[in-house]
Amino acid sequence: MMKLYYGPGACSFVPHVGLEAIKAATGDDFETQAVKLHKGEQHTPEYLQLNPLGLVPVLVVDGQPLSQIVAICDYLDRCCPQAGLLPAALWRHAEALSVFAWMNNTVHSTFTRIFRPQNFADGEPAQAEIKRTAVGAFRGHLERIQGMAENAAPFLLGDKLSFVDAYALVFLRWGGLAGIDPASLPIYRAYVERLAQTPPVAAAIAREGIKLDTYQKK
Ligand SMILES: N[C@@H](CCC(=O)N[C@@H](CS)C(=O)NCC(=O)O)C(=O)O
């Protein structure tokens, strides 16, 4: 049985939703292990054996660990194409990967500058500046996703739930933590609220014990 190591509310939510969608399509169950990032559980010797980078997610398949969201999700899609987590048609598949890659290499890494500014500069003033500029950039990315959500039918890639929907949900939650009020992105928020009602997404939210709205007015 496949096993996912995830951090509650972290980017590992993306393959987590994928595993739930596969379970819904095939009945194939999976195991999970929560890794508490705030407690530093990603740095234990046991975890570093699975992923020497000390990051979630890790998917263990037949005793072999696989890291990196895009690789894990591509594996899940190929394992179970009937779940429809990525479009099968050649061009639509490429377009889906284009959105997915942008989310993973640009939107996600912009948030890393907010969450871990100490990885990018020494000293509080430089870190505060990195964080401030990253929040502005992150907001721009969320606005671009809102533009995509405006045409959601009902999901970002059409009629099937996909990995990019799960990523979009994660980003709106992270925006709240960064001080971006979801009320200022009403179309995006309404889309995420609908998304949260779909059974695979609702199941992953429940297992991770997370709430949708993370915004706290400063
Ligand atoms: N490029 C990696 C990024 C993974 C990543 O950034 N994971 C974050 C959580 S969203 C993490 O584990 N952070 C732990 C830390 O910063 O100590 C992927 O696609 O899997």
Residue located via tokens 């809102």? 146
- Nearest protein CA to atom 14 of ligand 1, as residue: 55
Q: 55 CA to middle of ligand 1, Å?
A: 4
- From residue 186, how far is each of 131, 190, 193, 214, 216 by CA, in Å? 24, 6, 10, 15, 17
Token pair in block for residue 13? 């939510």
**Residue 68 half-sphere exposure, CB side, CA atoms within 13 Å?**
7
Cβ of 130 below 6 Å from ligand 1: no
Q: 112 CA to middle of ligand 1, Å?
A: 8
Q: 57 CA to middle of ligand 1, Å?
A: 7
| Tens-place pLDDT, residues 82-127 | 999 999 999 999 999 999 999 999 999 999 999 999 999 999 999 9
pTM here is 0.97
Phi, psi of 9 (to 5 degrees): 80, -5
Cβ of 7 below 6 Å from ligand 1: yes
The number of the ligand 1 atom at minimal distance from the alpha carbon of 53 is: 12
Are 113 and 128 in contact by the 8 Å Cβ rule? The answer is no
Contacts of 17 (CB under 8 A, 6+ apart): 161, 163, 165, 166, 200, 201, 204
Tens digits of pLDDT across the chain (218 residues): 999 999 999 999 999 999 999 999 999 999 999 999 999 999 999 999 999 999 999 999 999 999 999 999 999 999 999 999 999 999 999 999 999 999 999 999 999 999 999 999 999 999 999 999 999 999 999 999 999 999 999 999 999 999 999 999 999 999 999 999 999 999 999 999 999 999 999 999 999 999 999 998 76
The CA distance from 73 to 21, in Å, is 12
Token pair in block for residue 133? 């500029």
Cβ of 146 below 6 Å from ligand 1: no
Cβ of 116 below 6 Å from ligand 1: yes
The CA distance from 85 to 93, in Å, is 10
